[in-house]
Amino acid sequence: MKNPSRPPDCVLLFSGGIDSTTLLWDLRNQGRHPHLLSFDYGQRHRVELKAARTIARITSCPNDTVALPTWLFQGSSQTSDEISVPHGHYAAESMKLTVVPNRNMVMLSLAGALALSLKCKDIFYAAHSGDHAIYPDCRPEFVEILRRAFLMASWSELMLNAPYIMWPKKMIVQQGASLDVPYELTYSCYEGAELHCGKCGTCTERREAFELAGIPDPTKYTA
C-alpha cells in the first residue's frame, strides 16, 4: 500500500458495478485518491455492497457505506418484494419498475455532505448515456442542475463531475479494459443472487456492453 495515510481528494459514488469501478480506475490513473461512498437502502441487489468492499480493499481506498431506511424508497422492484424484477432489454419501458424514487439525488447530496466534511472539492458520479432513457436522474440535464445546486449550496466550493455522462456503456468497458479493471470482481445484477442472472435489465446491458466493446466478458451468468 502506497501512502496509506494520504487524505482523499474527492468522493466517488461507488456501487461496485462496471461504471463506478471503471471511474475508480480512471481516477487513480489520473493520480486522484477517491473516498468511496456506497449505500445500503435495503436493495434487493445489496450483494453489490460486498463487491464494493472487495474492490475498495484491493485499491486501498477509504470507503464507507451509509444505511438508509427502505421505507423511504418504496414502489420499485429493487426495494419492494411484491414487485418482480423485469427481464429484458435495459432501455425497455418495463425497466421503469426498477427506478428507486429520487435515489440518485439522495446519494449525490450525501456525497456532497461528505466531500465538504472531508474538505474535498470534487464529487464523481459514473452515470452514462445508456441510463438516459429510463433513469431521469442519470440524464445530463439533471447532472447540470445538481451541479449548479452544489455550487450554490457550498459557496462555490463543490463541483459535481460526471465524466461518462455522454458515453455509451461499451466505451466505459473499453476504457476499463485499457486500464486492466478486474471486471470479474464487479456486480450488476438486479435479481441480487450471488451469480448474475443473465436475464434482468442490468445483466442484459452488461452482456451487451462487453459484446459491443469486443472485450471478453468474465462474468459467470446463471442463464
177 contacts 209 by C-beta, under 8 angstroms: no
Of 33, 53, 66, 133, the one binding a second copy by CB under 8 A: 66
Of 104 and 204, CB closest to a second copy: 104
Between CA 141 and CA 185 the distance in angstroms is 32
Candidate ranges 55-63, 72-80, 188-196, 207-215; the one touching a second copy (CB under 8 A) = 72-80
The CA–CA distances, whole Å, from 37 to 8, 96, 179 equal 12, 25, 22
Of 2, 71, 82, 223, the one binding a second copy by CB under 8 A: 71
List, in order, residues 6 or more apart from 19 with CB less than 8 Å away.
126, 127, 128, 164, 169, 172
Of 111 and 200, CB closest to a second copy: 111
Candidate ranges 43-51, 67-75, 185-193, 212-220; the one touching a second copy (CB under 8 A) = 67-75
For a second copy, what does the binding mask look like between residues 142 and 181, x meaning CB under 8 A? x--xx-xxx-xxxx--x-----------------------
Of 9, 33, 46, 68, the one binding a second copy by CB under 8 A: 68
SS3 17: coil
At residue 197's C-alpha, the angle toward residues 191 and 202, to 5°, is 65
Between CA 51 and CA 42 the distance in angstroms is 16
Of 145 and 193, CB closest to a second copy: 145
12 counts as binding a second copy under rule CB under 8 A: no
The CA–CA distances, whole Å, from 7 to 3, 38, 162, 194 equal 9, 18, 22, 33
The footprint of a second copy on this chain (CB under 8 A) covers a number of residues equal to 40
Footprint of a second copy on 14-33 (CB under 8 A): none
Of 47, 53, 60, 72, the one binding a second copy by CB under 8 A: 72
Angle between helices 201-213 and 169-178 (to 10 degrees): 60
Of 32 and 96, CB closest to a second copy: 96
Closest CB 207 distance from a second copy, rounded Å: 28
